[in-house]
Amino acid sequence: MKKIYLLTAIICFFYSCNIKEQSEIQKEVMASTEVIEVDVDDLVKSFVKDSTAAAEKYVGKVLSVKGKVAVFEQIDTLTGHVNDSLPGPIKWLAHRIINDIQSSNIFFEELGKTNPTYNVQATFAKEYRKELVGIKEKSKVTVKGKLEHISTLSQVLPDSSKKTLLYTLSLQGCVIEKK
């Protein structure tokens, strides 16, 4: 009986988190007809100016972001073996994690430094690797992706106040529009 409760809790947790693979999000991005075009610096400036208003405007929307590549990474050396004797939900989760680890990422370069610092990251499904050939640092690209979430890195100061050090804007399911 405890196993059923545990399994139900795990399924509810994953359902509530709305976990999607990069390739699933990429299908949504490619099918989207409503796209907000924005330069990476303008996107960051809007979050610096008023993060609440910017989040309402951009989070969950498909964006066409134009900017210069600071870092391009393709992680394909990490592999995993999933034991066939594992329970189905655990096997499913392991496959999803391995697929997301093997994604490609572009980190955009900011022209002006802000305080706190902002990173804009575009993540591509592993199936999209052929289209990324030729991407180099300092090259200008336009990436279409869905701004799925924003993460922050904060520091708690001695007076118990919180100081945000870094914001990461994460575009998921990306495709290259122009390189």
The pLDDT, as a whole number, for residue 128 is: 76
How much is the pLDDT for 96? 59
124 assigned to some structural domain: yes
Beta-carbon neighbour count of residue 179 at 10 Å? 15
Q: Within 10 A of 39 (CB to CB), how many other CB atoms are there?
A: 15
Q: Is the confidence at residue 114, as pLDDT, over 80?
A: no
Nearest to 106 by CA among 156, 157, 169: 169
The highest-confidence range among 17-26, 55-64, 88-97, by mean pLDDT, is: 55-64
| Whether residue 4 has pLDDT greater than 60 | no
Top mean-pLDDT range of 62-71, 82-91, 120-129: 62-71
Query: For residue 164, what is the enclosing H or E element?
Result: strand 162-178
In a domain, 46, yes or no: yes
Q: Is residue 106 part of a domain?
A: yes
Q: What count of residues does the chain have?
A: 179
Domain that includes residue 44, residue range: 21-76+102-178
What pLDDT, in 10s, does the model give residues 73-90?
Answer: 766 544 555 556 667 676
Q: Does 87 reside within a domain?
A: no
In this structure, is residue 123 part of a structural domain?
A: yes
Hey, which bits of 53-124 come out as E strands? 62-74, 104-108, 117-124
Whether residue 115 is contained in a domain is answered as: yes
pLDDT at site 36: 92
Is position 65 within any domain? Answer: yes
Report the CATH number at residue 125: 2.40.50.140
Q: Is the pLDDT of residue 119 over 70?
A: yes
Counting the structural domains of the chain, the total is 1
